[in-house]
């Protein structure tokens, strides 16, 4: 849980979130047990007020630049203002099942 803890700490420090979830979804993918390569983050912060989705994601990417250049392969982001979070029922969207990457059927 080294990478997960790093993600949690950096986002908490940088964005002072009202709500923060960091979920290791690596087990949903074709990776060795115990991997920390696929994460879903839900960040609810007042710092997102007046920011579009792209700018919010840029903020998160900037905070996690070191992790994203290393072993983190995928990062699903849900970035919301407190008002958006409560309008969504204070729930994070579910992640889709992995389609197998390069082994997925081509459509």
Model confidence at 107, pLDDT cuts 50, 70, 90, reads very low
DSSP structural state of residue 44: E
Structural domains in the chain, CATH included, are: 2-91 (3.30.300.90)
Q: Rounded CA gap, 82 and 30, in Å?
A: 34
Q: What is the band of 104 on the pLDDT scale with cuts at 50, 70, 90?
A: very low
Q: Quick check: 92 and 42 in contact, CB under 8 A?
A: yes
**pLDDT for the residue numbered 73:** 84
Residue 12 has pLDDT above 50, yes or no: yes
pLDDT at 103: 42
pLDDT band at 102 (very low <50, low <70, confident <90, very high): very low
Cα gap 55→60, rounded to integer Å: 9
């Amino acid at each position: 849980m080294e990478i997960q803890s790093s993600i949690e700490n950096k986002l908490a420090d940088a964005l002072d979130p009202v709500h923060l979830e960091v979920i290791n979804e690596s087990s949903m993918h074709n990776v060795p047990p115990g991997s920390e390569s696929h994460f879903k983050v839900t960040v609810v912060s007042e710092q997102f007020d007046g920011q579009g989705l792209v700018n919010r994601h840029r903020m998160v990417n900037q905070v996690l630049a070191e992790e994203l250049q290393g072993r983190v392969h995928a990062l699903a982001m849900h970035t919301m203002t407190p008002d958006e979070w409560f309008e969504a029922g204070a729930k994070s969207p579910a992640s889709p099942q992995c389609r197998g990457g390069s082994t997925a059927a081509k459509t």
